[in-house]
């Protein structure tokens, strides 16, 4: 490519609304331009990078014998009604009617469509397993798109789905996909972590997210200091604490606690560690068909993890309950506890199972119970509700957990038969019995990966593309195109590299040295050959973007030298 003919609109200033490095540099360097909230155009450089990432994904999928398909972007709403997700997905689904008044949605993900393709076609265990994927534009009408390509409404995603006769085969494929995803991110030169995650509204198990480590990431993940364990905060677990505070000595009793409502107040009132308090968190659980108040109980020293809590009651979401609402429902805010509580759904954290010497609200104004033995409670549901904190122990080794931020670039999980049952996608097993297909799903945010690469690979001058993502590997910069010697060497090298299959661009613009250098740095070509005034001494320079160094080399063997480096 010739720079003088290329459409690469670089700018000195970034749009005001760009905050993240990836957004600022991708805009300034002419990779993308915004059209509307959460909608972006890919300019030639951006499109090249996008295609490079797609190619890597395609190559790795081919190695696993996954087959590429392309499903229509506009999908009939009936499929979404069949699976029941038209309600669950809510406003993120962009719906519209065609001229015949039929309802359609723009695909935000394609489970339904993919199951629809295989149902009545994959009808025998002999045809299984099967892994189909596509790389395709998706649309989610996000309430609040932000951060450029990081959270756009229209974006490119690779979504793959596998179909199996049983769980065991699904597990095999799941592991194979996890390895493939790992290879993809390694080829992209990304620092990432595969973490345990919540599978969200879609349902399923074995949920794992691929997180690119970056301060700008929107997810908090807990990682172990010693082993490979990492988990999204929404799903993170911890080991049982080994440092248990000394238990207070008290027989079961009701105690007057005037206006003592919070865990902190109780702790100082009784001089007892919050570990021995029962924290009561009231939430309103919203279901598809109604709502109710739910009480979550955990140790005073712990905090409620809302996603875990939501899953525990199988709710669409949890919202806060006002004190007025509680009073109206007959509860006493500040003095609520698990004993003798009626007419409300109660969920207990695992930590409270068999807990003793506890202090809890007496469900009576200004009274708490002390010396409570939780084992007196009958028919109680215990589950994990705790949000892990930095410093908590790793659940798998003796390491310590700490927080870090991550960009979710991939999410894989085992769907099981959720969709195949709902959409009646069944096959005949060896015994001739009809069974629903067992499914896995594997997503990867392709356009988000562009942003992720830059989040991890940039400096204050601009982008620093990695070997496999660079829009052009080599930039040949002719410092002064009016200098015949410079220009002819540039042209000669340009043709030689092009013929050798190197992705090369020649900066033959009628601009000054500084202007062209700034662009080279901003765009972030991995290598730039600078043909300039040093040519008088038969020398040229090789500028290496990553290290920001310029190496003086003899002009006569620059071609061979650079070919070696590439």
Partner RNA sequence: CGGGGCGUAGCUCAGUAUGGUUAGAGUACCUGGUUUGGGACCAGGGGGUCGAAGGUUCGAGUCCUUUCGCCCCGACCA
Please select the residue that binds RNA; options are 16, 354, 433, 547, rule is CB under 7 A: 16
Please select the residue that binds RNA; options are 487, 513, 553, 561, rule is CB under 7 A: 513
Are 325 and 284 in contact by the 8 Å Cβ rule? The answer is yes
Please select the residue that binds RNA; options are 5, 36, 484, 501, rule is CB under 7 A: 36
**Minimum CB distance to RNA, residue 424 (Å):** 20
**Minimum CB distance to RNA, residue 15 (Å):** 4
What is the pattern of x (binds RNA, CB under 7 A) and - over residues 104-123? ----xx--------------
Q: Give the burial string for 298-324 (b: 16+ CB within 10 Å, else e).
A: bbbbbebbbbbbbbbbebeebeebeee
**Minimum CB distance to RNA, residue 528 (Å):** 9
In degrees rounded to 5, what are phi and psi of residue 134?
Answer: -145, 160
**25 burial level (CB within 10 Å; 0-12, 13-18, 19+):** buried
Binding segment (CB under 7 A) for RNA, from list 181-189, 237-245, 247-255, 479-487: 479-487
Nearer to RNA, 432 or 514 (CB): 514
**Minimum CB distance to RNA, residue 111 (Å):** 8
Are 189 and 467 in contact by the 8 Å Cβ rule? The answer is yes
Are 107 and 139 in contact by the 8 Å Cβ rule? The answer is yes
In degrees rounded to 5, what are phi and psi of residue 230?
Answer: -150, 145
- 479 counts as binding RNA under rule CB under 7 A: yes
Please select the residue that binds RNA; options are 182, 518, 546, 561, rule is CB under 7 A: 518
| 3-class state of residue 40 by DSSP | strand
Nearer to RNA, 424 or 533 (CB): 533
Nearer to RNA, 140 or 193 (CB): 140
In degrees rounded to 5, what are phi and psi of residue 360?
Answer: -145, 160
DSSP-derived secondary structure for 62-97: HHTT-EE----SEEEHHHHHHHTHHHHHGGGS-EEE
Separation of first and last alpha carbons in the chain? 18
- 334 counts as binding RNA under rule CB under 7 A: no
| Kind of pairing between the strands at 382-383 and 67-68 | unpaired
Q: Give the burial string for 166-202 (b: 16+ CB within 10 Å, else e).
A: eeebbeebbebbbebbeebbebbebebbbbbbbbeeb
**Minimum CB distance to RNA, residue 517 (Å):** 4
Nearer to RNA, 197 or 358 (CB): 197
Please select the residue that binds RNA; options are 154, 392, 426, 521, rule is CB under 7 A: 521
- 445 counts as binding RNA under rule CB under 7 A: yes
In degrees rounded to 5, what are phi and psi of residue 345?
Answer: -75, 130
Look up tokens 């490979």; give the residue.
Answer: 228
Are 196 and 208 in contact by the 8 Å Cβ rule? The answer is yes
Please select the residue that binds RNA; options are 52, 119, 138, 237, rule is CB under 7 A: 138
Cβ neighbors of 172 (< 8 A, separation 6 or more) are: none
Please select the residue that binds RNA; options are 30, 38, 107, 440, rule is CB under 7 A: 38
**Minimum CB distance to RNA, residue 162 (Å):** 15
DSSP-derived secondary structure for 42-67: E-HHHHHHHHHHHHHHHHHHHHTT-E
- 34 counts as binding RNA under rule CB under 7 A: yes
**Minimum CB distance to RNA, residue 321 (Å):** 14
- 10 counts as binding RNA under rule CB under 7 A: yes
- 515 counts as binding RNA under rule CB under 7 A: yes
Binding segment (CB under 7 A) for RNA, from list 161-169, 371-379, 474-482, 487-495: 474-482
- 11 counts as binding RNA under rule CB under 7 A: yes
Please select the residue that binds RNA; options are 56, 118, 195, 202, rule is CB under 7 A: 202
- 159 counts as binding RNA under rule CB under 7 A: yes
- 96 counts as binding RNA under rule CB under 7 A: no
Give the whole-angstrom CA distance, residue 16 versus residue 20.
Answer: 11
Please select the residue that binds RNA; options are 443, 471, 524, 526, rule is CB under 7 A: 443
**Minimum CB distance to RNA, residue 31 (Å):** 14
What is the pattern of x (binds RNA, CB under 7 A) and - over residues 50-79? ------------------------------
CA distances from residue 394 to 231, 233, 236, 400 in whole angstroms, order as listed: 10, 13, 9, 5
**Minimum CB distance to RNA, residue 280 (Å):** 19
Binding segment (CB under 7 A) for RNA, from list 138-146, 389-397, 421-429, 490-498: 138-146
CA distances from residue 183 to 54, 61, 168, 417 in whole angstroms, order as listed: 14, 10, 23, 28
Give the whole-angstrom CA distance, residue 89 versus residue 82.
Answer: 13
- 144 counts as binding RNA under rule CB under 7 A: yes
Please select the residue that binds RNA; options are 267, 363, 519, 525, rule is CB under 7 A: 519
State the residues that interact with RNA by CB under 7 A.
Answer: 10-17, 19, 28, 34, 36-38, 92, 108-109, 138, 140, 142-147, 151, 157, 159, 199-202, 218, 306, 317-318, 411, 443, 445, 461, 479-480, 482-483, 512-515, 517-519, 521-522, 530-535, 541, 543, 550
């Amino acid at each position: 490519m010739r720079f003088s003919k290329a459409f690469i609109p670089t700018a000195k200033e970034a749009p005001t609304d760009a905050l993240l490095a990836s957004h600022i540099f991708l805009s300034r360097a002419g990779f993308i331009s915004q059209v509307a909230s959460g909608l972006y155009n890919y300019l030639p450089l951006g499109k090249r990078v996008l295609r490079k990432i797609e190619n890597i994904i395609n190559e790795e999928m081919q190695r696993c014998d996954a087959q590429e398909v392309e499903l229509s972007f506009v999908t009939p709403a009936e499929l979404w009604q069949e699976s029941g997700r038209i309600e669950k997905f809510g406003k993120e689904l962009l719906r519209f009617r065609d001229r015949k008044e039929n309802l359609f949605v723009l695909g935000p993900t394609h489970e339904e469509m993919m199951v629809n393709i295989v149902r009545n076609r994959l009808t025998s265990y002999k045809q299984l397993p099967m892994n189909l994927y596509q790389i395709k534009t998706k649309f989610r009408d996000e309430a609040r798109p932000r951060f450029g390509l990081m959270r756009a409404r229209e974006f490119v995603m690779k979504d793959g789905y596998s179909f199996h006769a049983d769980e065991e085969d699904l597990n095999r494929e799941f592991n194979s996909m996890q390895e493939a995803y790992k290879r993809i991110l390694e080829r992209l030169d990304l620092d990432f972590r595969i973490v345990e995650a919540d599978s969200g509204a879609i349902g399923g198990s074995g949920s794992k997210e691929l997180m690119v480590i970056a301060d700008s990431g929107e997810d908090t993940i807990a990682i172990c200091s010693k082993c490979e364990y990492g988990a999204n905060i929404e799903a993170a677990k911890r080991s049982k604490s080994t440092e248990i505070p000394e238990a207070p000595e008290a027989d079961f009793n009701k105690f007057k606690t005037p206006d003592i409502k919070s865990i902190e107040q109780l702790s100082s009132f009784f001089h007892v560690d919050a570990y021995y308090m029962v924290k009561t968190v009231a939430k309103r659980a919203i279901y598809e068909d109604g709502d109710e108040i739910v009480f979550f109980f955990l140790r005073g020293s712990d905090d409620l993890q809302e996603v875990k809590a939501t899953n525990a009651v199988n709710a669409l979401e949890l919202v806060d309950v006002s004190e007025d609402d509680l009073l109206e429902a007959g509860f006493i805010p500040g003095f609520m506890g698990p004993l003798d509580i009626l007419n409300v759904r109660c969920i207990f954290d695992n930590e409270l199972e068999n807990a003793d010497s506890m202090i809890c609200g007496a469900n009576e104004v200004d009274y708490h119970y002390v010396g409570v033995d939780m084992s007196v409670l009958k028919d109680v549901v215990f589950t994990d509700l705790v949000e892990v904190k930095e410093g908590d122990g790793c659940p798998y080794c003796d390491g310590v957990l700490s927080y870090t931020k991550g960009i979710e670039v991939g999410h894989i999980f085992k769907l099981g038969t959720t969709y195949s049952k709902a959409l009646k996608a069944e096959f005949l097993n060896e015994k001739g019995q009809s069974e629903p297909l067992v499914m896995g799903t594997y997503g990867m945010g392709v356009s988000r990966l562009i942003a992720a690469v830059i989040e991890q690979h940039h400096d204050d001058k601009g982008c620093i593309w990695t070997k496999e993502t660079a829009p052009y590997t080599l930039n040949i910069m002719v410092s002064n195109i009016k200098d015949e010697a410079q220009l002819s060497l540039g042209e000669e090298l340009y043709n030689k590299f092009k013929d050798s299959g190197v992705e090369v661009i020649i900066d033959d613009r009628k601009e000054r040295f500084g202007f062209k250098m700034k662009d080279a740095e901003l765009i972030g070509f991995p290598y730039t050959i600078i043909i300039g005034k040093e040519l008088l001494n038969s020398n040229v320079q090789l500028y290496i973007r990553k290290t920001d160094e310029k190496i003086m080399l003899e002009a006569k063997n620059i071609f061979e030298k650079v070919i070696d480096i590439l």
